[in-house]
């Protein structure tokens, strides 16, 4: 049994590249523009996006739980397609970028990638399972990353 599970139960191998900050292995800076923001900044941005959606759903619909999720998803998709970031991202100084094939950042993710990323974000679990670069499964699925704009 240890032969089957050993590769993932033992943790990262000693030859795995070490990094001093999130995004280093992707060629992103440690601080400033295009660096990877911390969890706190991303969580506040999520709250800024979620709270108005919940208030609108509470006031305007008979099923606020489902409606707030639907409003949040629609707003997120629209904002990412047209602006490359949500209201919360903009207020917190962040944007969603696509990792290019050459290792650089492209300004926006595709429309299909935006929809897939948002659906996975709404499922919650993919968003809370993240890697050393702070990319959740929802970001990894579409080769996106949240970076700072200031």
Per-residue pLDDT tens digits for 103-143 = 789 888 999 999 999 999 999 988 889 898 889 999 999 99
Q: How far apart are the first and last CA of the chain?
A: 49
Q: Where are the alpha helices (DSSP H) in the chain?
A: 2-9, 39-60, 64-83, 87-91, 111-122, 125-128, 137-141
Residue 17 resides in a domain: no
Total count of domains within the chain: 1
pLDDT at 83 over 60: yes
Judge whether 70 and 63 are in contact, CB under 8 Å: no
Judge whether 23 and 36 are in contact, CB under 8 Å: yes
When pLDDT is cut at 50, 70 and 90, the band that residue 11 belongs to is low
Residue 21 resides in a domain: no
Residue 65 resides in a domain: yes
Residue 5 resides in a domain: no
Residue 20 resides in a domain: no
Residue 24 resides in a domain: no
Residue 22 resides in a domain: no
* pLDDT value for 13: 52
Which of 132, 99, 104 has its CA nearest to residue 20? 132
pLDDT tens-digit map of 60-74: 989 888 899 999 999
Can you give the residue range of the structural domain that contains 64? 29-148
């Amino acid at each position: 049994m240890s032969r089957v599970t050993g590769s993932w139960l033992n943790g990262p191998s000693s030859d795995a590249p070490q990094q001093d900050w999130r995004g280093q292995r992707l060629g992103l800076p440690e601080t400033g523009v295009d660096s990877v923001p911390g969890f706190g900044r991303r969580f506040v941005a999520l709250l800024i996006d979620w709270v108005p959606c919940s208030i609108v759903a509470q006031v305007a619909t008979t099923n606020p739980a489902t409606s707030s999720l639907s409003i949040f998803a629609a707003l997120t998709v629209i904002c990412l397609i047209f602006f490359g970031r949500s209201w919360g991202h903009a207020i917190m100084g962040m944007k969603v970028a696509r990792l290019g094939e050459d290792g650089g950042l492209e300004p926006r993710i595709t429309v299909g990638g935006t929809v897939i990323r948002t659906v996975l974000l709404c499922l919650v679990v993919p968003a809370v399972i993240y890697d050393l670069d702070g990319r959740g499964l929802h970001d990894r699925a579409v080769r996106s990353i949240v970076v700072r704009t200031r």
